């Protein structure tokens, strides 16, 4: 094989490999990036984002506890690109208020559902208290029965998962103060009764391929549909601060994982044709041996 043909073959294989990695377009059930709002605005009653069926509900004692802030969270690692833009949501605990401090409904789902969000805290460390906070999905605007929990466990502060309202967990992932985490949760029914009974969590995925989950927990959640995104807290201290951003709800892993853009198939094919044309022209210009 001539050097030109070898070059064409190698370049063609590279382009086709890239095109083969092109993920299908995401189809989200709901999304909220808080970009539709000004900074320093209380969450209750806001109605931006997409796919939701009603505005945000807020259960805090004072509106100032739960507000949009300037500057978004961001997670860009490997194939995953999840920049938070110019806004995020911040919860600063004061005293009292409803344990269900935020909720928002979306179209009811009965199959496997994925949820992802960016998460950060700078304060819930070192005070020897539980500092419990929970984000998840539920059939109503109350205790989320498929959820990710952050609190002080046996080994320090970590992420855990729940299916139902009890404490059950199969593992945990330790966390560090001030770090932004990208969390992906999957709620599913492994049986035939239609009841959600498995919750899985990926912490900081780096690829469009799910790979091994960070945490898996199997337990009867007691619910057969998911229709609310819910935030819940317990045993917090005044000033405990939590931030979230880019909430995505979908029916597949790819729905809720934002990837670094890959060239569209048409662009890739045009690039390949251009390379082939240049190589052919170069070959024609070479003098006969």
pLDDT tens string, the chain, 289 residues long: the values are 555 555 545 554 454 444 444 445 568 999 999 999 999 999 999 999 999 999 999 999 999 999 999 999 999 999 999 998 999 999 999 887 789 999 999 999 999 999 999 999 987 654 556 788 999 999 999 999 999 999 876 667 789 899 998 766 667 788 888 899 999 999 999 999 999 999 999 999 999 999 999 999 999 999 999 999 999 999 888 899 999 999 999 999 999 999 876 555 444 444 444 545 555 555 555 545 4
Beta carbons of 114 and 255 less than 8 angstroms apart: yes
What integer pLDDT is reported at residue 258 of this predicted model?
A: 93
What integer pLDDT is reported at residue 124 of this predicted model?
A: 60
Distance CA 216, CA 125 (A): 25
| 65 phi, psi to nearest 5 deg | -70, -25
pTM for this entry: 0.83
Distance CA 87, CA 192 (A): 42
Beta carbons of 226 and 219 less than 8 angstroms apart: no
Distance CA 129, CA 143 (A): 21
């Amino acid at each position: 094989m001539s050097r030109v043909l070898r070059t064409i073959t190698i370049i063609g294989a590279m382009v086709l490999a890239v095109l083969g990695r092109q993920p299908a377009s995401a189809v989200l059930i709901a999304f909220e990036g808080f970009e539709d709002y000004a900074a320093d605005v209380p969450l209750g009653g806001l109605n931006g984002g997409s796919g939701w069926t009603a505005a945000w509900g807020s259960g805090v004692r004072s509106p100032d506890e739960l507000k949009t802030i300037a500057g978004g969270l961001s997670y860009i690692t490997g194939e995953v690109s999840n920049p938070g833009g110019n806004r995020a949501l911040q919860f600063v605990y004061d005293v009292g208020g409803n344990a269900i401090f935020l909720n928002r409904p979306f179209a009811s789902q009965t199959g496997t559902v994925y949820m992802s969000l960016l998460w950060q805290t700078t304060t819930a460390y070192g005070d020897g208290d539980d500092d419990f906070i929970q984000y998840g999905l539920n059939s109503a605007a109350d205790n989320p029965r498929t959820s990710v929990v952050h609190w002080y466990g046996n080994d320090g502060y970590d992420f855990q998962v729940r299916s139902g309202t009890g404490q059950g967990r199969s593992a945990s992932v330790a966390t560090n103060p001030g770090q932004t985490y990208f969390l992906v949760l999957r709620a599913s029914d492994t049986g035939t009764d239609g009841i959600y009974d498995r919750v899985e969590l990926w912490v900081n995925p780096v690829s469009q391929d799910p790979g091994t989950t960070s945490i898996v927990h199997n337990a009867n959640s007691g619910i057969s549909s998911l229709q609310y995104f819910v935030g819940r807290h317990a045993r917090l201290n005044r000033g405990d601060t939590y931030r979230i951003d880019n909430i995505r709800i979908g029916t597949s892993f790819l729905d809720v994982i934002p990837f670094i853009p890959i060239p569209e198939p048409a662009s890739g094919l045009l690039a390949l044709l251009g390379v082939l044309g240049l190589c052919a022209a170069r070959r024609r210009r070479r003098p006969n041996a």
